[in-house]
Structure 1
Amino acid sequence: MGNADGQTLARPDAEGAPRIAGPGGRVTAKAAVFLAVAFLAAGALGAAQAGTPIPTEVVQLTQFGPALGVAVVALLWRGEIRSLLAGALRGGARFGSRGVLLLATAPLIVALCATAYGVVTGDVRFTGPSSLGNPLVVIVVAQFIGACGEELGWRCLLQPLLRTRCGPLASSVTVGLLWGVWHVQVVAQDPAYAGAFLLATVSLSVVLGSALERVRGSRLLLAGGFHMLINLGLLLFMDEESGAVLPMVLFALACLTAAVVRALGAKRAAGPAR
């Protein structure tokens, strides 16, 4: 069925993922534009932050690179991207059991890697809120805004965009790899550290992709909330930001564990549904 412009109207594919309107969907072009802007904008924002009084502990301006990528894609493909992003905020705070389980997974991942770190090193690392350089409430709010700036691009645009061409696992892994490489400063670290970080981003992407697979509302709030809880947990209980390999490896293994559990659960649930 076509519209006045001769474009194919959006409709669900065989697996329930929304197709992108337009001839062939132009998925590659949209993804390429988004990634180019997300990478370039993040670099520019990161350089600009050095000239501002905003501490990176509160928020990193690079997190808004993906949001700018979404803005550019939306300007180029207005109608199509508007329908794709319709579920980003729609639905308010009615998360449902899937959303609650997703948000609960974040502190479980942090608890698992922090416990493993304590067992391996014999030292439980904890940074009390009073030891932070800024008020915790300011950090929480800013971290949530920054996390949403990232997730608007990765989970609300790129993930559903790729989902129109491949399955949930393949699209999640692809987004996770791109998300990891987008953190250029991390990839430039020690190979073991960078490898563990990429494993973590792919695993977290699988967790998010699986949890949001059938969620059509509040996607941004859920993805941003999950991302924020992970960041805050690491800030308070781990020291992977120092570049030490062990904390990052343990974090990656905790993320991998959550991804495997989530993927197996999704596969089990898909069986009876079919």
Structure 2
Amino acid sequence: MRMTPVDFRAMASFLAVTFLAAGVLGAVQPATGIPVEVIQLTQFGPALGVGVAAMLWPGRVRALLTGGLPGRGGRGVLLIVTAPLIIVVSAGAYAALSGEVRFTRPDAPFALIASAQLIGACGEEIGWRCFLQPLLRTRFGPLAASVAVGIVWGVWHVQVFAQHPVYAGAFLLAAVSMSVVMGWALEGARASKLLFAGGFHALINLGMLLFMDEESGTVLPMVLFGVSCLMAAGVWTWLSAGRGWATAAAPAKLTAIMEDVR
């Protein structure tokens, strides 16, 4: 169950294109006139990374994207439910501590923002949870693979590190924790994983936009959000690892599929 040189090259190509494309897309967005509250073009960096990897190694990328294990729709539904719970806990804790209820009314129509956020989230998740997660899963367990993806995902939001160090640390904690949640929820999933991962991601983004004022750089809301995500990750880990929800055979089966393609 070790990664082949081809898999390392595919991962390196994906990451290089993902980071480079995100930088370029972020630089050109002001010229497009598209408001960042509607969608951030950087979100399509991972999709472009997968596209390049697919052109170079089509069989292996197809195997990773489609998977080879029976899906579990029930966990996907629980994943979708987890997103608003994280926001409720975060916003509720902030209101209790500060006496202020945060709500940001968007300038653009909400239906447009919600649709665009789902598209953008899927543009990210086809790379993070549909490609990189199963690729690392051929070598590591579900928790280790999810943590690794979460770290890369968090660091990819490089603009966050221009904020206060505590804000940046809390964001990184949230990214890793959400990656763990999605990793457990999508363990063994097949075609439905993009929709569930994108739905969870979009709901989180919408909740942060409306109730957490994520772009302000204020430390306390981000800290509370990070702690809420960590709590969710703890519950999912307890349910998945502690109660036998994990799919222990996933690496062997997926590795066998990968070995049959080039």
TM-score by length of 1: 0.86
Higher relative contact order (CA 8 A, sep 6+): 2
State the partner residue of 2:73: 96
Partner of 1:28: 8
Question: Is the contact made by 2:14 and 2:46 (CA closer than 8 Å) also made in structure 1?
Answer: yes
Q: Does 1:269 align with 2:249?
A: no
User: Which residue identity is paired with 2:87?
Assistant: V
Matched, 1:172 2:146: yes
Please say if 1:160 is aligned against 2:134.
yes
Aligned AA (1:60): Q
CA RMSD of aligned residues (A): 2.1
Matched, 1:137 2:103: no
Cα deviations by residue, 1:224-250 (Å, 9 ceiling, x for unpaired): 000000001111111232001111100
Q: Which residue of 2 aligns with 1:3?
A: none
Report the equivalent of 1:212: 186
How far 1:25 moved relative to its partner?
Answer: 5.8
Q: Which residue of 1 aligns with 2:100?
A: 123
Aligned residues: 248
Q: How has the CA–CA distance of structure 1 residues 26 and 46 changed in structure 2, closer, same or farther, with 3 Å as cutoff?
A: same
Larger radius of gyration: 1
Identity %: 62
1:66 lines up with 2:40 in the alignment: no
Correspondence list, 1:21-60, <5 A: 24=4, 26-60=6-40
| Greater share of helix | 2
Structure 2 residues without counterparts, runs of 5 or longer: 249-262
Structure 1 residues 272 and 221: CA distance shift in structure 2, 3 A: closer
Distance in 2, matches of 1:181 and 1:47, equals 18
Structure 1: segments with no counterpart, 5+ residues: 1-12, 14-18
Q: What SS does the corresponding residue of 1:26 show, helix, strand or coil? A: helix
The partner residue of 1:184 within 143, 158, 173 is: 158
- Describe how 1:100-119 pairs up with structure 2 within 5 A: 100-119=77-96
Q: Is the 8 A contact 1:95 1:222 kept in 2?
A: no
Q: Deviations over 1:205-225 (max 9, x none)?
A: 000000001212311000000
Secondary structure of 1:58 counterpart: coil
